[in-house]
Amino acid sequence: MEGWVIAIIKVVFIWAWVLLIATVMTWVERRGAAMMQDRLGPNRAGPFGLFQPLADGIKLFTKEEVLPKKAHKVLWSLGPLLFALPAFSAYAVMPFGDKIVLGGKEIILQVSNVNIGFLYILAIGSLAVYGIVLGGWGSNNKFSILGGLRSTAQLISYEVPLGLALLAIVFVYGTFSLRDIALAQQGTFLGFLPNWGIFKQPLGFILFMVAIYAEANRVPFDLPEAESEIVAGYHTEYGSMELGLYLFGEYVNLVTLSSLIVVLYFGAWHIPYIDVSKFLGPVSWGIVSFLIFYLKVSFFLWLFVWVRWTIPRFRYDQVMGLGWKALIPLALFNLFITALFIQLAA
């Protein structure tokens, strides 16, 4: 019973937290972009325009829902749901802090510590593509279907290097559990390097980064919704809250993926060379680890924004070329090297 209560509290908490981050993220994206472009960005709704996402939400929520005449009704409404839900669900196995000891009870900061968290993430992550494809198909619009098709090809192509990069990480840490990987990144190796994934897998990290940019449909891989080419891609026909789900789901996706980077490559809640947990009590360490974790996550979220407003986007065939001709061989090479090293070390 008690376990249930804690689990539910954790679920609700992290759900709200991710929502909050994603909301703030939309604001950061807009203001950040504006600042990079020598302008101000939304600053009317609330202090610094912080309530802008709220205003957007209210507006989208109260907007008329238009169902295109020839759209496939079921698929059309299924699309946004399938897009937004997996992004949230992936957080179920994501560790977001060390642990809190409350009343002698140890609570790990993770909704559920599944020992095959990796597989779960991969599986759930590839679900999101259905949201896009179904939405694109169901809209009965040529631009939408183009966006959907682009997204399918792109996601499937980049899932391979993503998986291979992840596999190398599994080689290194020898576990499928995200929590174990996070914990294993404490301390140093070779005497001076922090025990982080990025130092053990530098190439793998780059591959992984590129792959998740593609998975998240962000510039330079934002082909599915490439605004100037296919209007708005898969969500061309979506108007009110369905659009909101798509837009919002994208940011939730970003949070999930950024968290994944931090867990796998950036030492989760560890700070190099210092073991903070020694100076703090069990409760405060839990909170601090949580904060450290999200500090790191926010950096990667910012990186998404930063890159987006700096570079142009790829062309469809170039995305495919990059994925199949460059990333996959590199990922295989990386895997091979990793395996070799591990063999040698053993």
Partner 1 sequence: MGEDVQAYNGGGWIATKLEWLINWGRKRSPWPLPYGTACCGIEMMCALASGYDMARFGAERPSFSPRQADVLIEAGTITLKMVPILKRIYEQMAAPKWVIAMGACACSGGVFRTYSTLQGIDKVIPVDVYIPGCPPRPEALLQALGMLIKKIEKSHPILHKRYSDFLVGY
Partner 2 sequence: MAKPVVKKEYTLGERIYLLEILKGMALTWRHFVFNVKASFRPEPHTVPTCWQYPEDRTREISPIFRGLHMLCLDEKGREKCIACGTCAKTCPAHCITVKKGKRKEGEEDKYASKMYCASFDIDLLHCIFCGFCQEACPKEAIVLGREFELAQYTREECHLDKQKLLANYRKAKEEGKLRPPRKAVPVVKPPPKPEAGAPKTTEGKAGKPAVAGKAKKGQVEVKKAAEKAKGAGKAESGD
Partner 3 sequence: MNQDPVSQNDQERLGELVTINIGPSHPAMHGTLRVVTVTDGETIVKAEPEIGYLHRGVEKLGESLTYHQFIPITDRLNYCSAITNNVSYEMAVEKLMGIEVPEKAQLVRVIMMELARIADHEVCVGILGVDLGAFTPFFYLIIQREEIYEIFEWYNGARLTNTFGRIGGLDADLPDDFEERWRELKPNLRKANEETEKLLTHNRIWMDRTIGVSAFSPEDALNWGFTGPCLRACGVKRDLRKDETYCMYDQFDFEVPVGKNGDVFDRYKVRMIEMEESIKIIDQAYKLYKEMPADAPLKARVPKVIKPPVGEVYSALESPNGELGFFVRSDGSNKAYRIKIRPPCYMIYQAFNDLVKGEMIADLIACISSLNVVAGELDR
Which residues of this chain interact with partner 3, rule CB under 8 A? 33, 36-39, 142-143, 146, 219-220, 222-223, 226-231, 309-318
Among residues 204 and 233, whose Cβ is nearest to partner 1?
Answer: 233
- Written as six digits, the tokens of 41 are 């960005």
Amino acid residing at 294:
Y
SS3 105: strand
234-263 residues in contact with partner 1 (CB under 8 A) are 235-240, 243
Asked if residue 343 binds partner 1 (CB under 8 A), the reply is no
- β-partners of residue 194 are 188
Asked if residue 232 binds partner 1 (CB under 8 A), the reply is yes
Report whether 167 contacts 155 (CB < 8 A): no
Residue 340 neighbours by CB under 8 Å, 6+ apart: none
Least distance (Å) between residue 35 CB and partner 2 = 4
Give the interface size with partner 1 as a residue count (CB under 8 A).
Answer: 36
Q: Which residues bind partner 2 (CB under 8 A)?
A: 32, 35-40, 206, 306-307, 309-311
DSSP H helices, the chain, are 2-36, 52-61, 73-89, 117-138, 142-173, 178-184, 197-200, 202-215, 227-230, 241-265, 282-308, 316-321, 328-345
- The correct pick among 5, 64, 191, 274 for binding partner 1 (CB under 8 A) is 64
Asked if residue 324 binds partner 1 (CB under 8 A), the reply is no
Decide which of partner 1, partner 2, partner 3, none touches 102; Cβ closer than 5 to 8 Å per partner kind: none
Decide which of partner 3, partner 2, partner 1, none touches 230; Cβ closer than 5 to 8 Å per partner kind: partner 3
SS3 99: strand
Asked if residue 9 binds partner 1 (CB under 8 A), the reply is no
